A and B are shown apart, each in its own frame.
Chain A
Amino acid sequence: MSDMNTVKISDKEELEIKTEQAKLFERSMFAAKSHLSYGTVEEYLKMLRKMRELEKQGEIEVFHVTDEFEPVTVKTLSGREKKIPTIELWQHKSCGQCGHIPGYVTALYWIMSNLGIPYVDDTNQTSCTAWNYYGSGTSNPVALTAVFLRNMHVAWEKNAYPLIHCGTSYGDYKEVRFLLVMNRDIREKVRAILKKIDRDVVVPEELVHYSEWLHVMRDKIAERRKYDVSGVTVAVHAACHTYKLMPEDYTYSEDILDGIRPAPTTSVALALGAKVADYRNWYDCCGFGFRHILTEREISRSFAYFRKVQPIVKETKADVIITHDTGCVTTLDKSQVVPLAHGYKETIPVLSDSQFAALAMGAHPFIVCQLHWHIADWRNLLNKMGIDWERYKQDYKRYIEEIKKGLRKPDFIKPPSRRLPPRKNS
């Protein structure tokens, strides 16, 4: 805009800035945005450097994303490149996910099985306990760190890379990893705790949310698309705990929403051929947060409806809200009941990105994606996607009847058996 009359100057440095003004702008924008968030990029990079120093000194073990995990590189908000493992994944499940929207995790497993991705669905995983922490301020940094390291150690033992399903676990782990690396006191206390359960400090090189995995796998997923979703408009809700806790470390891409908003989930919808609609309250919480879901249900549901659902439906005419966290799917979906009873008209189905992708790939809407657990009406969406849900419904009824009569057993998505030998405990 300002270059029309400026002259070239001999000093190379100055010249470069002028001609590459667009690039400079991108960089400044990333920097400015990270400065506006809680931490700073410098602090974060310092932590990562220190993690490697501690590894060199032998104080901690770092769980590297080695080539055996076939990593794909993405760019984070800080501009740093992050390695996302694509195979041999240790599924770190979410508490609320299994209880409220079981189709969320089964859809993800189904996609992995469909793509032939080896993974471990371990029963030996605990809750990250961060709901307690963010919800009611109980727990403490040492306890949170101990639970984090305990889970990471189990994954390390099994030689599978942790893939964290829950936004809260992911955000919490990013925070406690920072505390652990930067604070000797915590390291010492945690080591003592871990000793009691015969485990050690193993810190993952990268903390990876499953939405980032879907992001890097989006083209492979799109290749196996069965239904044409080009007529579907999607509104994406990014989960606060994934991209607002330690925002420096979440995936952004310059070609997705200009790199201003998180790339995952939007990228998956775009790769599948759906349209993505922007909306005014994109930055707002789903209503789950700020302890409201636990103590202030009235405010939680009102916020979800008046700040998210209603504006999205009114402004974008979207067919579905897609998000990537347990709490968000639950809150945005379940909070529509009361307003509908009051006579408000706006309603929209809410799915996780894994459910949406699995549906497009031809997964069973009920046996795999378990849409019958969802409250907001999804029939229009499935019609638009060209999925004959009536037929699937009959099929599902028959399936249930047969199980009831003892004619068959429920279907399971079983992970392929372990190929890699377990790591020996050091």
Chain B
Amino acid sequence: MRTENPVLIIGGGPAGLRAAVDLSEMGIEVILVEKRNELGGAPVRWKYKTLAPMMRPTEEVMNPLIEHVEKSELVKVYKNSIVEEAKGNAGNFVIRIKNGLDNRVESLNVSAIIVATGFEHFDARIDPRYGYGKNPNVIGIHELEAMLKSGRVVKHDGQPPERIAFIFCVGSRDRATNPWCCTVCCGVSIKQAIELKEILPDSQIYMIYMDVRTFGLWEKLYWKSMEEYGINYIRGRVSEIYYTGEKLLVKGEDTLVRGPFEVLFDMVVLAVGMEPGQGTKQVAKALDLAINEFGFLEPKHPNIHHDSSKEGIFLAGACVAPMSVEEAIAEGSAAAMQVVKLLHRLAKPIEAR
């Protein structure tokens, strides 16, 4: 099936890449616009070592997608670029792509659009209680992921940490910041705790949680961390992290014994949540898409993510709601399927003529 106009995909992360792969494999031309200078989205940008729940290397999942897109003759990739404007209707949108490096603008006609602009990790500096950005050795899970990948987890003084705390729900489930659950940070933190324990077998690891939300098969990680790796779980929420000049004093309550604790740690890892990124906000404005109360893109029907508020524009991945890489990939495929359906429908009357 050939169409005159290619399909536009905004965002080169797991969802966008998968949609590009699926469409090109069906012989449909694709324009892929990526804001950054590389493809792969968050897993590549933040150097995810492995992916939950099976802890397979990120490259196993991401590399085939990236390679396919870069080799395919049907996919034209615009890096360092954003979509500034889209006008028209399903079947014929006129879009303007702007390159952020040389400010060159290109106008193109596309038949359909898939928005897959992903998420940003919550910037923990906004919640001052953790002292993130001020206290040394308070890091985010995205930063730990890169350290794990390098195989070297050390404090700012170059020494390995002995006692490490993970704090769940940072920038999530909190009225002062973001009220939603990011769905994956429990699982990702637990996965990282296991990997940490493999690198530093003598370390003691404490997970400070309100709930452990390891959905579906991710539960396996939870059991494994406790039963095979001796990782400790403390139910509570942290009120303050204070840097003593040497160690981090974590204040919280062990709600299972109704006891306030103030315990010293060498390193604290914040399980930062997900929030809609600048890219999502910019695209919502450029394409005039509806956003919900939380700033995520709002699908036409709350239970069906792939249809946007506009005909011919489809949604996929974490720009709709927080989700895992595996879900984002599935949503990329789902959105591609919707595009095919649309093109099929639009092509019919022409054949009948």
Contact = CB atoms under 8 A, between A and B. Distances in A.
Interface stretch (A27-35, A118-126, A154-162): A27-35
Interface in A311-360: 315
Given A2-B120, A280-B242, A280-B249, A8 B100 contact: yes
B278 A18 contact: yes
B134 interface: yes
Interface of B: 35-38, 45, 80-82, 84, 98-101, 103, 120-121, 123, 125-129, 133-134, 175-177, 240, 242, 244, 249, 262, 278, 281-282, 285
A17 interface: yes
Interface in A12-27: 14, 17-18, 25
B278 A6 contact: yes
**Which of B36, B121, B128 lies at the interface centre, i.e. has the most chain A CB atoms within 10 A of its CB?**
B128
Nearest to A259: B128
A7 B176 contact: no
Nearest to B132: A1
Contacts of A315: 244
Contacts of B99: 7
Contacts of A36: 129, 176
Nearest to A25: B125
Contacts of B128: 29, 32-33, 260
Given A2-B121, A7-B82, A32-B177, 6 more contacts: A10-B103, A14-B281, A29-B125, A32-B127, A33-B128, A280-B244
A32 B129 CA distance: 10
Given A6-B35, A25-B125, A11 B176 contact: no
A283 B176 contact: no
A315 B264 CA distance: 13
B176 A5 contact: no
Given A2-B120, A25-B125, A25-B126, A280 B262 contact: yes
A307 to B, nearest CB: 10
A315 B81 CA distance: 52
B215 to A, nearest CB: 27
A7 B101 CA distance: 7
Nearest to A283: B240
Interface string A240-266: 000000000000000000101000000
A11 B242 contact: no
A9 interface: yes
A10 B35 CA distance: 13
A33 B128 CA distance: 7
17 contacts: A1-B133, A5-B36, A5-B38, A6-B36, A7-B36, A7-B82, A9-B84, A10-B98, A10-B103, A14-B278, A32-B127, A32-B128, A32-B177, A36-B176, A280-B244, A283-B240, A315-B244
Nearest to B99: A7
Contacts of B121: 2
Contact of A35 (B84, B175, B285): B175
Contacts of B175: 35
B100 A7 contact: yes
Given A280-B242, A280-B244, A283-B240, A258 B282 contact: no
Given A7-B100, A35-B176, A280-B244, A28 B45 contact: no
A28 B282 contact: no
Contact of A5 (B45, B125, B262, B281): B45
Contacts of A14: 278, 281-282
A29 B131 CA distance: 11
Contacts of A25: 123, 125-126
Contacts of A260: 128
B277 to A, nearest CB: 9
Nearest to B134: A258
Nearest to A21: B123
Contacts of A32: 126-128, 176-177
A244 to B, nearest CB: 14
Contacts of A33: 128
Contacts of B36: 5-7
B126 A29 contact: yes
Interface in A271-289: 280, 282-283
A6 B277 CA distance: 11
A211 B120 CA distance: 42
B244 to A, nearest CB: 6
Contact of B35 (A1, A7, A35): A7
A284 B101 CA distance: 51
A260 B134 CA distance: 11
A34 B37 CA distance: 39
A18 B123 CA distance: 13
A7 B127 contact: no
A29 B125 CA distance: 8
A36 B176 CA distance: 6
A28 B124 CA distance: 11
Nearest to B80: A7
